[in-house]
Amino acid sequence: MRLERLSLRDFRNFKSLELSELSHGINVFVGRNAMGKTNLIEAINYLSCGKSFRGTQDSKLIREGQPFAGIFAGYSTGSHRGKIEIGIFGEAKRSVKLNGLPIKKISELMGAMNSIVFAPEDLRIIKESPSLRRRMMDMELCKISSGYYRDVQSYVLALKSKNKLLKDMHAKDGVIEAYNVQLAQYGAGIIRRRRVFVEKLNQYGAAFYQNLQNVTESIQIRYKSSTEAEDIQTGLLEKMQINAKREREIGISLVGPHREDLEIFINGKDSKIYASQGQQRTALLAIKLAALEIAQEQTGESPILLLDDVFSELDKRRKESLMEIVSKKQVFITCTDIDGMQRFPEAAYYQVDHAKVKQVK
């Protein structure tokens, strides 16, 4: 997967930007703080999922005082060329065209031009609440499986209805039970794909970690699932039935994919508690690279890797290992300091200054 050209109109601090000679390999964007580097990464990633990776509302992506923001891109895969045109007019008001045709659901955009971001705030995925780890799993799975996306949507909808009933004293048990049947069905679709995903994440992640960090250290990624049953749907439904009384007492749904987690261990110890900042960063990088590998395996195309402000934090050896791993992929790197970046003879370098981007040699 390659981003061939990118243009922005009134996106964040960019009034107008045209980038048309992007490298198929490494692209480095250098600039001081608050110049627009992360905004650029955000725009590229928005193209692959229709969302800001920083969790920013759409309306805030429009340049202040302007009526709309535009993100336009041309991309290529091994087999075809495509284009994406996105206009953001406000909250939940946007138009998205894929290859000139308007799309109705964002699921049609998901993964058309897939990219994976790694940014400093991603360390929260290791350190903070399970919801962030679930969000990462969901994000990566949605981009490679439209079935997963549909199951998540249906699950969330049914869960909302069930939670409303759980808070309603007059709701009948039978109606709640009917929602459990639905939740078990969609939930099974989610869990089945998460099982495969985490197994591979663990397998590839461990290899990348050893490659980046140290062969004597290992990471392990475990899926803390709501059921280990072979027949997931039945297992899930049974658990819901066991918890039915308790759920009515406290008014929330206690069982299902929305309560699951990923556990990340380094040398057998919970990385959340015991790992150093450097180990956590490397573990997360290994996980992102594993997600890249899984997407490539599933879709035949490697996603674009977006490294926002993390490259300069790595030591020389890790930088070299990373560049070797991603050598055949398109990568966007942002940093504040060009020192140590000059080592890639094939890379394209850009200076970002107050939302103006200039290629430098």
Ligand X SMILES: Nc1ncnc2c1ncn2[C@@H]1O[C@H](COP(=O)(O)OP(=O)(O)O)[C@@H](O)[C@H]1O
Give the E-state strand segments of 182-225 in sequence order.
219-224
Q: List the interface residues with Mg ion, window 24-83 (CB under 5 A).
A: 37-38
The residue among 54 and 150 lying less far from ligand X, judged by its C-beta, is 54
The residue among 39 and 321 lying less far from ligand X, judged by its C-beta, is 39
CA–CA dist 308, 327 (Å, integer)? 18
The residue among 31 and 256 lying less far from ligand X, judged by its C-beta, is 31
Q: Does 37 bind ligand X (CB under 6 A)?
A: yes
The residue among 27 and 226 lying less far from Mg ion, judged by its C-beta, is 27
What is the smallest separation between the CB atom of 82 and ligand X, expressed in angstroms?
Answer: 26
What is the smallest separation between the CB atom of 77 and ligand X, expressed in angstroms?
Answer: 28
> Amino acid identity of 62?
I
116 binds, among ligand X, Mg ion, none (CB under 5 to 8 A by kind): none
64 binds, among ligand X, Mg ion, none (CB under 5 to 8 A by kind): ligand X
The residue among 310 and 325 lying less far from Mg ion, judged by its C-beta, is 310
**Phi, psi (rounded to 5 degrees) for 253:** -80, 120
What is the smallest separation between the CB atom of 50 and Mg ion, expressed in angstroms?
Answer: 21
Per rule CB under 6 A, count of chain residues that contact ligand X: 14
H or E, element range at 101? strand 101-102
Q: List the interface residues with ligand X, window 185-214 (CB under 6 A).
A: none
The residue among 279 and 334 lying less far from Mg ion, judged by its C-beta, is 334
Tokens of 7: 């243009």
> Which of 287, 130, 274 is closest to 220 using CA atoms?
287
What is the smallest separation between the CB atom of 45 and ligand X, expressed in angstroms?
Answer: 12
49 three-state secondary structure: helix
CA–CA dist 30, 6 (Å, integer)? 17
Name 240's Cβ contacts closer than 8 Å, sequence gap at least 6.
180, 183, 184, 247, 255, 256
Q: Does 34 bind ligand X (CB under 6 A)?
A: yes
CA–CA dist 108, 57 (Å, integer)? 20
Tally of CA atoms within 13 A in the half-sphere of 287 that contains its CB: 28
State the residue number with the nearest CB to Mg ion. 38
DSSP string, 103-169: -SSGGGTTTTT-EEEE-GGGGHHHHS-HHHHHHHHHHHHHHH-HHHHHHHHHHHHHHHHHHHHHT-T
Among residues 22, 23, 28, 31, which is the contact residue for ligand X, using CB under 6 A?
31
The residue among 44 and 158 lying less far from ligand X, judged by its C-beta, is 44
The residue among 36 and 187 lying less far from ligand X, judged by its C-beta, is 36
Site map 38..67 versus ligand X, x via CB under 6 A: xx--------------------x-xxx---
Contact 26, 333 (CB under 8 A): yes
DSSP state of 172: -
CA–CA dist 283, 219 (Å, integer)? 7
What is the smallest separation between the CB atom of 359 and ligand X, expressed in angstroms?
Answer: 17
The residue among 60 and 124 lying less far from ligand X, judged by its C-beta, is 60
What is the smallest separation between the CB atom of 92 and ligand X, expressed in angstroms?
Answer: 17
156 binds, among Mg ion, ligand X, none (CB under 5 to 8 A by kind): none
142 binds, among ligand X, Mg ion, none (CB under 5 to 8 A by kind): none
**Phi, psi (rounded to 5 degrees) for 167:** -90, 0
9 binds, among Mg ion, ligand X, none (CB under 5 to 8 A by kind): none
Among residues 2, 12, 258, 329, which is the contact residue for ligand X, using CB under 6 A?
12
CA–CA dist 109, 47 (Å, integer)? 8
360 binds, among Mg ion, ligand X, none (CB under 5 to 8 A by kind): none
Can you give the binding site for Mg ion, defined by CB under 5 A? 37-38
